[in-house]
Amino acid sequence: MRKMLVVALDGATWNILEPMMNSGELPCLLGIREKGAWGPLRSVNPTFTIPAWKCYSTGLSPGALGVYFFLRFDARQDDFVLTSSLDFKFKEIWDYLGGAGAHCGIFNLPGTFPAKPVQGFMISDYAINERGFFPRHLYHEVIRQVGDLSIGIPWATDRKKALDLCWVKTEREFSAIQYLVQKFGNELDWLQFTLDTTDGMQHYFWTSIEVAAFWKMVDFRIGKFIESVAKIWGNEFNILVVSDHGGQLLESRFNIGTWLVQKGYLALNLKGRLLRRIITKVPSGWSFKVFDLVSSRISRFGRSEVRLANYLLRGITDFNRSMVVAPTGTILYVNKRALPPEFVDQFKARLASELSTLVNPRSGRQAFGKIYVDLWKINDSSSPEIILPAGPVDLICNPLSDEAWVLPNGWVAGHHIDGIFIGSGPDISKGRVSASLLDIAPTILHMYNLPVPPAMEGRVLTEILTSRMTMDQKAKAADADKVMEE
């Protein structure tokens, strides 16, 4: 069984990495790319860290998973509930590999808290207590070795401190995974290491010298990490470098919450109306600073932050009169309680039509590309009715402001549908490839000589596999057919 290392870089984008590789600033990633296959990795809609990483690990679409964002709308309870690993019931890459006897290590992959049992180890993306670790005793052991992994980064409130802590957190995560590699050693057959600070750096600093310096450090540390793995595994292992989505510079910020209130589609309760009246009297942009503070903390899965987010989202919404409910600016739920059943389809069409005619005042172009209506309804009846695509317009839902269009403030870059894929190793051939995030799980299973479950929606990237691996797979399939005939 050939071993594999997966380096998952949240938000990594060719828009930044390719120019840096071409100028020789990222020698490690460039070296991996030159030895193997590489190209764009198409993400999913909606293009968020969650559900994207779960789509990667399961080979299933957001509709099949039934999760679309860090927060999900519970129409029965009029509530926004934080997504956790318990919301995902499908098997993931390491479950299939573990079932076949492989030992796996998973580190910092978004959507893994609380950590579930695996054959190997799992350190979740919210490593704040024992529930973020499997086995549980690893929590105290890792903390003793490298320090606290649950470092909060104040992206929206203190840029200098955020930059410093971003470096500290990243260095500490590299130290932790190297300690775990030394601990579990050759016992591991498949190892995944995830960096999420890459996404935050790009959101707030984009192509600045700070981002360039950060990526150089990450590239150097990846190189050292691969060297440490090779000392234990030897050099005959495969490497995949993937991201959940890409990134792009923002032109404008559109506050769909304000637009919905102005259109009469989102109604505020008494508390919300009073807060909005107060906030709209203060200097322009203040409410966005509060919103950014809350938004930057939602993804950390902290219970206090969730209560604050619920206060701003659930606590100010009149669910009996709101025709639309939006946990974020990109996904809109039609609230069927406020609409007669016979008008629901008509209202969805009108809402999509009105959004499609909006013009970005900064560029003078159509604000949004394709608007998805009922994209995942065939899979999940509770899915959002409207999904807006990732683009150069940042989408938020802050109904407490009276400004619909503003310039990006702090958060200067958004997501792009195309992330990165790089593959290198004895079983991977050289060349360009265009792949989907959904293709990674079936390709990994195929490379471990495991059958690909029919429910997986991606395909095996046979074009990147060496002829030897393809021949091995064909031989295995022929043997299986022969056994069945006998």
pLDDT, tens digit only, all 486 positions of the chain = 799 999 999 999 999 999 999 999 999 999 999 999 999 999 999 999 999 999 999 999 999 999 999 888 887 777 777 888 998 989 999 999 999 999 999 999 999 999 999 999 999 998 989 999 999 999 999 999 999 998 888 887 788 999 999 999 999 999 999 999 999 999 999 999 999 999 999 999 998 899 999 999 999 999 999 999 999 999 999 999 999 999 999 999 999 999 999 999 999 999 889 888 887 776 655 555 555 555 444 444 444 444 455 556 778 899 999 999 998 899 999 999 899 999 999 999 999 999 999 999 988 999 998 899 999 988 788 899 999 999 999 998 888 888 899 877 778 999 999 999 999 999 999 999 999 999 999 999 999 999 999 999 999 999 999 976 655 554 444 443 333 333
- Please, are residues 440 and 418 in contact by the beta-carbon 8 Å criterion? no
Report DSSP state, residue 438.
G
Both tokens assigned to 145: 């070795």
Edge-first strand listing for the sheet containing 393-396: 393-396, 252-255, 405-406
Residue with tokens 């130290």: 175
Q: 101 — alpha (psi -120 to 50), left (phi > 0) or beta?
A: left
List the alpha helices (DSSP H) in 206-244.
209-233
Q: How far apart are CA 240 and CA 382, in angstroms?
A: 34
Q: At what angle do helices 440-447 and 49-58 cross, to 10 degrees?
A: 30
Helix (H) or strand (E) run with residue 249 in it: strand 246-249
Phi, psi of 47 (to 5 degrees): -90, 75
> What does DSSP assign to residue 337?
G
Q: Is 301 left (phi over 0), alpha (psi -120 to 50) or beta?
A: left
Closest CA to 13 of 48, 40, 44, 46: 40
Contact status, residue 48 vs residue 327, Cβ threshold 8 Å: no
| Radius of gyration of the chain measured on its C-alpha atoms | 23
Phi first, then psi: give them for residue 360, nearest 5 degrees. -70, 115
- Angstrom distance (rounded) from CA 154 to CA 381: 37
Burial class of residue 200 in the structure, from the number of CB atoms within 10 Å of its CB (0-12 exposed, 13-18 middle, 19+ buried): buried
Could you give the dihedral angle defined by the CA atoms of residues 166, 221, 97 and 433, in that order, rounded to the nearest 10 degrees? 100
**Domains in the chain, start-ordered, CATH in brackets?**
4-77+84-248+414-477 (3.40.720.10), 251-411 (no CATH)
**Rounded to whole angstroms, how far apart are CA atoms 127 and 125?**
6
Running DSSP on this structure, what letter comes out for residue 242? E
DSSP state of 414: E
Backbone angles phi and psi of 103, in degrees to 5: -100, 130
Integer Cα distance of 262 and 476 in angstroms: 62
CB proximity list for 64: less than 8 A, separation 6 or greater = 58, 90, 379, 380, 455, 457
pLDDT of residue 171: 97
Q: Which of 345, 358, 184 is nearest to 254 (CA)?
A: 358
